[in-house]
């Protein structure tokens, strides 16, 4: 069976897959003739239907054409394992039932009845098992499920990689927190915008974090590097910050405006991916730029980080003589 979807949004893909799995699960329970309930993270048989008619054929229970009062299930049975898969809640029971009957017509069921553990071998009463196939929706669903599980990991790796590079560049553990502060703000704003506009995390939007971090960190690097160069000559932190904003700040402003405006032209694209990514990248770069021009200088002046202040007077003649003397020794 092939279904055509109105769009490929993450929410719609998850809905289609969830409803398909729910239909398969409910049809399997109906064919088995039971209803189940979850209670305290345990799955019990809540009702047993008169159909289908079961009979004991050797060690296995199979569906019979004759009406009998027998059944491999009893009300109150608590499922423990189905096939090779443990049952701990209703979700795991659904997954175990689907996987245990995917390739086998017979499957073992382990349950607790009246305080005693028992095991039955059940012959699947259906002649064909539903399986979720591939296609575009299936591929997107599998990719989205993996991406959602790794969303936090991708964010952490993106920021952590930049932090490690900054650690070796400026020889300071604290510098990463100052330079990454504008990027963290950008990430929060972009995620808030995506949530407000129902843009889910999917295979298209996840790379936005790594791309945005790569673009946004440049602005902070230009400002901080110029502050360090100025404080080596001037020796005063406030004057160095002011001079860095007046000089490198202009170049950063020009670069950010050009990059944001050129990327924003993607918004007019009729391709949904281009339109969304163009606006999100432009928004990311704008927030990163504003943070590097406002938040970053304020943090530096307020907390006076040592990786910058220790460079004060680096070109002072007395400091040069002291370093030269130490070198000779």
User: Is the pLDDT reported for residue 326 higher than 70?
Assistant: no
Residue closest to 158 by CA, chosen among 186, 130, 139: 186
Q: What is the 3-state secondary structure (H, E, C) of 136-181?
A: HHHHHHHHHHHHHHCHHHHHHHHHHHHHHHHHHHHCCCCHHHHHHH
pLDDT at residue number 241 = 94
Using pLDDT thresholds of 50, 70 and 90, give the confidence band for residue 293. very high
Residue closest to 151 by CA, chosen among 211, 206, 204, 192: 206
Using pLDDT thresholds of 50, 70 and 90, give the confidence band for residue 36. very high
Strands 60-63 and 116-123, bridge-based pairing: parallel
Using pLDDT thresholds of 50, 70 and 90, give the confidence band for residue 294. very high
pLDDT single digits (tens) 214-263? 777 889 999 999 999 999 888 889 999 999 999 999 999 998 999 888 88
| Positive or negative: CA dihedral 211, 214, 217, 219 | negative
pLDDT at residue number 163 = 92
Q: Which of residues 306 and 198 earns the better pLDDT score? A: 306
pLDDT single digits (tens) 296-324? 999 999 999 999 988 886 666 665 555 56
Going along the chain from its start, the domains and CATH numbers come out as 10-123 (2.30.42.10), 150-328 (1.20.1640.10)
- Gap between the Cα atoms of 321 and 301, Å rounded: 29
Task: Return the exposure string of 241-272: e unless at least 16 CB atoms fall within 10 Å of the residue's CB, then b.
Answer: bbbbbeebbeebeebbeebbeebbebeeeeee
């Amino acid at each position: 069976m092939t279904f055509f979807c109105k769009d490929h949004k993450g929410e719609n893909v998850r809905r289609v897959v969830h409803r398909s799995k729910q239909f398969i699960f409910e049809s399997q329970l109906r064919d088995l003739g039971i209803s189940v309930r979850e209670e305290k993270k345990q799955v019990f048989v809540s009702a047993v239907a008169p159909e289908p008619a079961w009979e004991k054929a050797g060690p296995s229970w199979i569906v019979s054409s004759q009406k009998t009062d027998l059944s491999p299930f009893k009300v109150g049975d608590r499922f423990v394992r189905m096939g090779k898969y443990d049952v701990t809640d209703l979700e795991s029971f659904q997954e175990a039932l689907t996987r245990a009957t995917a390739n086998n017509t017979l499957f073992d069921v382990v349950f607790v009845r009246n305080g005693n553990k028992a095991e039955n071998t059940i012959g699947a009463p259906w002649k064909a098992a539903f399986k979720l196939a591939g296609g575009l929706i299936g591929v997107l669903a599998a990719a989205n499920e993996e991406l959602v599980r790794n969303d936090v990991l991708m964010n952490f790796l993106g920021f952590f990689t930049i932090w490690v590079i900054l650690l070796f560049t400026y020889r300071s553990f604290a510098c990463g927190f100052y330079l990454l502060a504008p990027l963290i703000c950008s990430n929060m704003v972009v995620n808030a915008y995506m949530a407000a506009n129902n843009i889910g995390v999917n295979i298209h939007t996840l790379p936005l974090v790594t791309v945005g971090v790569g673009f946004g960190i440049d602005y902070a690097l230009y400002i901080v590097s110029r502050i360090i160069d100025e404080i080596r000559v001037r020796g005063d932190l406030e004057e160095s910050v002011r001079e860095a904003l007046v000089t490198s700040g202009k170049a950063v402003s020009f670069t950010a405006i050009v990059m944001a405006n050129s990327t924003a032209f993607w918004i007019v694209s009729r391709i949904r991916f281009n339109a969304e990514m163009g606006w999100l990248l432009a928004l990311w770069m704008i927030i990163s730029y504003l943070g590097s021009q406002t938040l970053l200088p304020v943090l530096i002046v307020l907390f006076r980080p040592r990786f910058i202040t220790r460079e004060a007077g680096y070109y002072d003649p007395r400091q040069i003589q002291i370093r030269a003397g130490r070198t000779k020794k």
